Amino acid sequence: MRPAIEFAANQNLWPSTAIALFLLALSAYCWRRRDVPGAIPLMIGCLFAVAFAAGSVMEYAAVDLEAKIFWSQFQSCVQAPIVLGVTCFFLEYAWPGRWLTRRRVILLAMIPVAYLGLALTNDFHQLAWTGFQWNGSGPIQQKLGLGSWIAIFSILPVFGVVNLIVFGWLFLRSPQHRWPIVFMQVGQMVGRTLYILVKAEVLQSVLPLDLLGMGFEFLMYAIALFGFRILDPIPMARKTVIEQLSSGMLVLDQQENIASLNPCAERFLGTTAKAAQGKSIRELLPAYPARAKDVPVESEISLGEGLAIHHYMLAISRLDDWRGLDAGYLLMLRDVTEQKQVQAQILEQQRALATLRERERLARELHDGIGQVLGYVKMQTQAIRDRLAQGQAAEVDGQLAQLITVAQEAHADVREYLLGAKIATSWQPGFLAGLRQYLNRFSEVYELCTELVEPPGWRDGLLEPTVETQLLRIIQEALTNVRKHARATCVQVIIEPDGPRAKVTIQDNGIGFDPVLLPDGMGQKYGLFFLCERAAEVGGSVAIHSAPGQGTRVVVDVPRRYDESIAG
């Protein structure tokens, strides 16, 4: 019978050897990741499992019965620390530094240590095992004593309940750990159930079924370790960053259907990842750009209505696979509602300051202009009174006609001042709307054709509030000159973007003049000095182009908002 026994032993040696090598490799991997929470306890559990598998190898390799019994006893001594190491791994992995304390380790180790004491002193009390049985093939069958059964039904339920509580807590609190938990829990249930059935002699085989069950259990741990990389800090860090991002992140497939989204995107869109998965992005984002395929694209979108409206900056990037082919799209949603509110407040403050300064300037200009007119009227009326006293009625009539003309011009100037002040200090309609309103009113009052030429895409907010204020007043002053001096029938106001600056041209079809031959003091009369002064206050300039019979063109150059000039 000996050759047959040796042949059977050699045949059954390989499963134990393969499992021992697998467990040794797994413990080496845990040692490499020893800085990651939970790696050291799992490594300790793996090393005891390696000892258990090595004992199985030696048991199958042994020829005499006494050696087989020794290695069977050796396996009984090292199996309790395996369960302890795995449980400590779960505690540390679920909540690093919080659950695996020294006190808990001591409490959990009490039963395994007590069983180890029973096994080492079994010759005196027979509580660990009462005997051994071998049928000539397969592993040794132990006749377990009362102490072993107490240990089995103490260790497995206690540690099983602890593991189940940890698994359940982590499963509910961390969705990213759910699949690894499922694999590890299945491994535990299968491995330990198989162990109990073997010890209860319900299952018998020439193969080491208890070791195979342990191998399956650690295989599930290996799938969790390598398949989900639970001990690799880089994927864990990346996943944590995605979960904690303050920006919404959505992943789309090639058909622009939602494949994944992070919790922040769920909050922004008012949905859940499960409900949104598979839907078209346009169902959740109606403002999703139609030209998204021409990525990268960055645009501003709004969600909600009324006071609940939120503004987001949407950035779209294309995802390419390892072949460089289109694999989908990555969307990043950044909430800019608060930023826009702050910008609006700053803009309102700037407009209020610009309005205050403009009112002060208008007050000075009215004081100077009306003061001069009233001074002239006073002088003329005194002269008229003297002439009437002297009986010079003919001269008085000419002076009165001149006074009427001056009064009419003063009235027109005051009316223009008031209209300009109303437009310049009222920001409700916006710069463009205010300018259109002024030009229409100017055209109605003075029967002078006006036309506003705007570039495509031009909108309010491209100029600073102070620039808008001064620009409106410059245009009004230029139109006043057209009314008074140009004898024009039509005037155009042309707005043109010029890189980081903007150019506004006021052009008429009047009689024109030669700026070089302009007499001293006439520039003041035409308000040219004030045009240049206003433009200079906001970093701009004014150029006047005219020739007799060819009309006049006033070109105003002003800076645009810094951020808008870059975007434009």
Top-confidence residue, 180 or 244: 180
- State residue 313 phi and psi, 5-degree precision: -95, 120
Which range among 42-46, 245-249, 528-532 shows the weakest confidence by mean pLDDT? 528-532
pLDDT at 3 over 50: no
Confidence of residue 46 (pLDDT cuts 50, 70, 90): very high
pLDDT value for 236: 61
Confidence of residue 9 (pLDDT cuts 50, 70, 90): very low
pLDDT value for 514: 84
Q: How many CB atoms lie within 10 A of CB 217?
A: 23
pLDDT value for 12: 64
Question: Which stretch of DSSP H or E encloses residue 543?
Answer: strand 541-546
Cα 150 versus chain centre, distance: 56
Q: For the residues of 7-46, what is the DSSP string, one character each?
A: HHHHHHHHHHHHHHHHHHHHHHHHHHTTTSTTHHHHHHHH
2-237 CATH = 1.20.1070
Whether the Cβ atoms of residue 403 and residue 377 lie closer than 8 Å to each other? yes
pLDDT value for 287: 77
Buried b (16+ CB within 10 A) or exposed e, 466-487: bbbbbbbbbbbbbbbbbbebbe
Confidence of residue 418 (pLDDT cuts 50, 70, 90): low
Q: Distance (Å, rounded) from C-alpha 100 to C-alpha 95? A: 8
pLDDT at 563 over 60: no
Q: Which amino acid is at 108?
A: L
For the chain, what percent of residues have pLDDT higher than 90?
A: 11
pLDDT at 100 over 70: yes
Q: Angle formed by the axes of helices 146-173 and 178-199, to 10°? A: 170
Confidence of residue 238 (pLDDT cuts 50, 70, 90): low
pLDDT at 367 over 70: no
Whether the Cβ atoms of residue 64 and residue 9 lie closer than 8 Å to each other? no
Top-confidence residue, 191 or 139: 191
Mean pLDDT of 239-243: 73
Top-confidence residue, 417 or 190: 190
Tokens of residue 259, six digits? 């494949």
CATH of 245-335, one of 3.40.50.1220, 3.30.450.20, 3.30.160.250, 3.40.50.11540: 3.30.450.20
pLDDT value for 541: 92
Candidates 279, 313, 278; CA nearest to 296 is 313
pLDDT at 128 over 70: yes
pLDDT value for 248: 87
Q: Please say whether the structural domain 428-568 has been given the CATH code 3.30.565.10.
A: yes
Confidence of residue 417 (pLDDT cuts 50, 70, 90): low
Q: Which residue has the tokens 């006609």?
A: 401
Top-confidence residue, 18 or 413: 18
Top-confidence residue, 362 or 451: 451
Candidates 5, 91, 6; CA nearest to 41 is 91
pLDDT digits (tens, 9 = 90+) for 466-519: 888 888 888 888 888 888 888 899 999 999 988 889 999 999 999 988 877 765
Q: Distance (Å, rounded) from C-alpha 388 to C-alpha 382? A: 10
Confidence of residue 27 (pLDDT cuts 50, 70, 90): very high
Which range among 17-21, 133-137, 277-281, 525-529 shows the weakest confidence by mean pLDDT? 525-529
Tokens of residue 189, six digits? 């249930």
Question: Which stretch of DSSP H or E encloses residue 317?
Answer: strand 310-320
| Residue positions counted in the chain | 568
For the chain, what percent of residues have pLDDT higher than 70?
A: 83
Q: Distance (Å, rounded) from C-alpha 465 to C-alpha 469? A: 6
CATH of 352-418, one of 2.40.50, 1.10.260, 3.40.50, 1.20.5: 1.20.5
Environment class of 112 (CB within 10 Å of its CB; exposed 0-12, middle 13-18, buried 19+): buried
pLDDT at 270 over 80: yes
pLDDT value for 361: 65
Q: Write down the mean pLDDT value for the chain.
A: 80
Mean pLDDT of 352-362: 68
DSSP 438: H
Candidates 453, 459, 493; CA nearest to 567 is 459
Q: Distance (Å, rounded) from C-alpha 224 to C-alpha 242? A: 21
pLDDT at 106 over 50: yes
pLDDT value for 555: 94
pLDDT at 556 over 90: yes
pLDDT at 550 over 80: yes
CA dihedral sign of residues 7, 11, 12, 18: positive
Cα 255 to Cα 250, 279, 293, distances in angstroms:
14, 10, 11
Q: Which amino acid is at 259?
A: A
Cα 220 to Cα 217, 223, 488, distances in angstroms:
5, 5, 91
pTM assigned to the model: 0.48
Mean pLDDT of 298-320: 80
Top-confidence residue, 314 or 320: 314
Q: Where are the domains of the chain?
A: 2-237, 245-335, 352-418, 428-568
Cα 370 to Cα 11, 64, 113, 410, 422, distances in angstroms:
119, 128, 107, 7, 18
pLDDT at 51 over 90: yes
